[in-house]
């Protein structure tokens, strides 16, 4: 843990202020390293539901759909007018430019009740140029079972601006989509069942037996033996209170239990488009020799032995593994860099030796194929 020094005075008032500041800093440091179950898992059965609907946006400034090319817009407008008591003569070809057919999507959170509001996203279906300034008419939002769970309506908020550069206009944002904050009112709730006779399942965000077992250990330490048990590498079963009124209190305590996690699985992620490499601290490499283009890279490991400076002083001999990287070019130049066995240090050394991002990607992929890279390699 790092040590902080505060220039506090001997006066009691300033000393108390410094003590409060130091305590707040230590709490922030401990919170930064804390892993709560809330951040590692979710409660099985407590989930959101997707909603979708088809509607019309009106009030556009001549930037709506061209009805000849989007006949479904004219058909929808005719059906809407007929429901409002306006009958259009058969065969009427309406040339309106202020209407656009849109798809409306929303997420219905768990435990939503009738009367609550949710945000909706509105996206154009036809060839409308812009939805800015439009108003979404009443649109029913349906779930996967075809039943209506919310009604959406309201004025759209569409982002976007044109920037002038060298006499030309550059469009910054997309104008064929927008959002309506609190634009849908929930009409029907979705039953949420997450406990059966007091049994509650926690679903880990990732499948990892080590993380799951650490969660079980932390829960049994906090609530007593037998409260939690692992079903598999992703699900933890809890024995909670049978009374539904106490389950919310129990789950709030479960979510705030801190877990000491095991080391993460070694993984290297490479972005082939940008040449960036991201890795965690558990990635290591073994001895290897690589020939790539005009580069020849040899990675060898050695052991550095540090003896105590004073004989018979009770000191210990320390053996530190180190990695030596030797890079040769077609011109005969040789560069050597001594570093640790961590891949992050090896990548920095390769960059210092002049390896390009594409060279680095190829070298890492070759190391993985040869078995010298002890990590999962993922290319995005």
C-alpha–C-alpha distance, residues 204 and 234, integer Å: 5
pLDDT means per 10 residues in the chain (380 residues)? 37 41 40 72 92 95 84 86 83 80 95 95 92 94 95 89 47 78 95 87 91 93 93 93 88 92 82 76 74 68 61 59 62 53 67 71 79 80
Sheet containing 318-329: give its strands across: 288-292, 295-306, 318-329, 334-339
Residue 239's pLDDT is 93
Q: Is 94 left (phi over 0), alpha (psi -120 to 50) or beta?
A: beta
Structure tokens at 147: 């039943």
C-alpha–C-alpha distance, residues 146 and 109, integer Å: 18
Phi, psi of 285 (to 5 degrees): -130, 160
Q: Nearest CA to 151 among 179, 122, 185?
A: 185
Structure tokens at 160: 């976007």
C-alpha–C-alpha distance, residues 221 and 226, integer Å: 10
C-alpha–C-alpha distance, residues 263 and 187, integer Å: 47
Structure tokens at 282: 């558990």
Q: Nearest CA to 76 among 96, 55, 97, 61?
A: 55
Do 102 and 73 touch, CB atoms closer than 8 A?
no
Residue 303's pLDDT is 60
Residue 17's pLDDT is 44
Phi, psi of 16 (to 5 degrees): -65, -40
* Structure-derived torsion over alpha carbons of residues 338, 342, 343, 344, reported in degrees to the nearest 10: -90
Structure tokens at 345: 């240090």
b or e along 145-168 (b: 16 or more beta carbons within 10 Å of the residue's beta carbon)?
eeeebbebbbebebeeeeeeeeee
C-alpha–C-alpha distance, residues 99 and 208, integer Å: 51
C-alpha–C-alpha distance, residues 258 and 180, integer Å: 38
Pairing between β-strand 376-379 and β-strand 373-374 as defined by DSSP bridges: unpaired
According to DSSP, the residues that pair with 139 across neighbouring strands are 152
Burial class, 252, CB count within 10 angstroms (exposed 0-12 / middle 13-18 / buried 19+): exposed
């Amino acid at each position: 843990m790092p040590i902080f020094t505060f220039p506090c005075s001997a006066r009691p008032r300033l000393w108390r202020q410094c003590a409060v500041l130091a305590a707040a800093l230590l709490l922030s440091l401990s919170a930064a390293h804390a892993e709560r179950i809330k951040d590692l898992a979710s409660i099985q059965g407590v989930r959101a539901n997707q909603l979708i609907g088809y509607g019309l946006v009106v009030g556009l400034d001549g930037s709506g759909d061209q009805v000849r090319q989007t006949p479904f817009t004219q058909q929808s407008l005719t059906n809407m007018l007929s429901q409002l008591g306006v009958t259009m003569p058969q065969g009427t070809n309406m040339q309106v430019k202020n209407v656009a057919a849109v798809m409306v999507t929303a997420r219905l959170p768990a435990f939503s009740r009738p009367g609550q509001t949710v945000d909706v996203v509105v996206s154009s279906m036809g060839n409308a140029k812009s939805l800015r300034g439009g108003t979404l008419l009443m649109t029913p939002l349906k779930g996967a079972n075809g039943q209506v769970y919310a009604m959406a309506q309201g004025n759209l908020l569409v982002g976007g601006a044109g920037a002038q550069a060298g006499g030309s206009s550059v469009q910054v944002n997309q104008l064929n989509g927008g959002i309506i904050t609190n634009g849908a009112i929930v009409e029907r709730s979705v039953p949420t069942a997450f406990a059966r006779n007091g049994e509650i399942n926690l679903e880990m965000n990732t499948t990892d037996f080590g993380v799951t077992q650490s969660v079980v250990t932390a829960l049994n330490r906090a609530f007593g033996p037998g409260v939690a048990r692992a079903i598999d590498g992703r699900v933890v079963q809890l024995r909670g209170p049978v009374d539904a009124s106490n389950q919310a209190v129990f789950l709030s305590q479960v979510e705030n239990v801190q877990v000491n996690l095991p080391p993460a699985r070694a993984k290297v992620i490479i972005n082939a488009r940008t040449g960036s490499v991201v890795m965690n601290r558990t990635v290591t490499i073994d001895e290897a020799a690589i020939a790539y283009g005009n580069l020849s890279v040899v990675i060898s490991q050695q052991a550095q032995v540090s003896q105590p400076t004073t004989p018979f002083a009770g000191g210990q001999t320390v053996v530190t593994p180190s990695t030596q990287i030797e890079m040769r070019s077609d011109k005969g130049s040789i560069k050597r860099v001594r570093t640790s066995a961590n891949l992050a240090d090896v990548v920095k050394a390769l960059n210092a030796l002049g390896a390009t991002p594409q060279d680095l990607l190829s070298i890492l992929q070759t190391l993985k194929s040869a078995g010298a890279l002890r990590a999962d390699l993922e290319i995005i």
